[in-house]
A and B are shown apart, each in its own frame.
Chain A
Amino acid sequence: MNYIFYFLIVASIIIGAINGKLQDVVNAVMSGAELSVKVAFSLIGIMAFWLGIMKIAEKSGLIKWISKLLQPITKVLFNELPPDSPAIGDIAMNFTANAFGLANAATPFGIRAMENMQGENKDKSTASNSMCLFLAMNTAGFQLIPTTVLAILIGIGYQNPTEIIAPTLIVTSIAFISAIIMAKIAQVLSCRLKEQSND
């Protein structure tokens, strides 16, 4: 992350200077910082709402029930988490919310999942394998219906907007499955590397 951060900033300044856009780059610092706070604050209300709903689901035993239902899958994918970990219910809720295009709800569920996985994590500043897998699943952005895109298409007068649903679903499934496979491969590889360095 250190190198990425360094690269983004230094490369932007150098490339901006070459392109004669240094003023824009400088302005972007202000607007970017402002945007970050706007994004974070716009999350507060909806985050609070879904965290509240999640707490009810947890207290009523609903989340435990969902995690039990999904255990055959999560046991294979998240093999480093204890089978009764509260994170599994959160992961399931996050996936469901994402699939139905409820991005606002998916984020608080995902953050709860991360908090619960952090509870099992030995090194608190380093991502665990489960966290990396969970993140890969989320960045692949699996969803059944691309609601935002459909809304824009309808807005600009696209004649048959629903025809993009099927190809989008195929593509997102491919990306989602390959993200999981790659994360599992990376997990195995990183375990091997660790064993070798211990020998």
Chain B
Amino acid sequence: MTKLLNLISLWALPVILITVLTCGIARKVPVYEVFTDGAKDGFKIAVKIIPYLVAIIVGISMFRASGAIDMLANVLAPILVKFNIPPDTLPLMIVRSLSGSGALGIFSDIANTAGANAYSTKLAAVMLGSSETTFYVLAVYFGAVGIVKIRYALIIGLLADLIGIIAAVSVCNLMFA
């Protein structure tokens, strides 16, 4: 099963490329011209999202540097122990929605200090792999089209992250504890 999944993930990109290009040629699409025409927008979009990224990334960098996450972790730690959640995974839960590189760093920390086969490492791996950086996705996608009034999008993104954390804790408790 896992071998099959790995095979799929290796071949996904080549298959997409072959399919798209072959379809294009078969339908007499001038693939080179059309490709370069479409690719032109890459720079425009990247530049367009910069202000939104700056707002979100600077805000979150400041928040992480202020030590707020450690304070939050200290307050929440005693509650988590009751639910059989190792406290060292708590910073990851908080940072996961805020910063992708931050979450990766914390995950490496947990894995290196708790050991490769510790329960904390497994739980952290599942939490990291099953979720996205909500704030980043929000900044990029809404930024690219200039949306500033986001309505309920962020609340639902964060609620889904919370459900993901609860699910990760429950599933890992059943499978690894």
Contact = CB atoms under 8 A, between A and B. Distances in A.
A and B interact physically: yes
Interface string B134-152: 1001101110111111111
Contacts of A72: none
B128 interface: yes
B46 interface: yes
A171 B96 CA distance: 15
A49 B17 CA distance: 11
Contacts of A47: 41-42, 45-46
B171 A138 contact: no
B68 interface: yes
B42 A45 contact: yes
A171 B164 contact: yes
Given A8-B59, A33-B54, A100 B8 contact: yes
Contact of A60 (B23, B60, B157): B23
24 contacts: A1-B154, A8-B62, A16-B62, A19-B71, A31-B61, A32-B54, A32-B57, A35-B61, A39-B57, A47-B46, A48-B41, A55-B37, A56-B24, A60-B26, A62-B23, A115-B144, A117-B145, A126-B151, A131-B141, A144-B5, A153-B121, A170-B171, A171-B167, A178-B160
Contacts of B175: 166-167
Interface string A23-60: 01101110111011101110111011101111111011
Assign chain A's interface to a size class: 35 or more
A28 B13 contact: no
Nearest to B72: A15
Interface of B is mostly: helix
Interface of A: 1, 4-5, 8-9, 11-13, 15-16, 19, 21, 24-25, 27-29, 31-33, 35-37, 39-41, 43-45, 47-49, 51-57, 59-62, 96-97, 100-102, 105, 107-108, 110-111, 114-115, 117-118, 123-127, 131-132, 134-136, 138-141, 143-150, 152-153, 156-159, 162-172, 174-176, 178-179, 182-183, 186, 190
Given A12-B66, A37-B54, A162-B2, 8 more contacts: A9-B58, A15-B68, A32-B54, A36-B57, A59-B34, A139-B137, A145-B8, A171-B167
Interface residues of B, number: 100
A35 B57 contact: yes
B131 A19 contact: no
A179 B132 CA distance: 12
A178 B53 CA distance: 27
Given A59-B29, A138-B141, A171-B168, A25 B47 contact: no
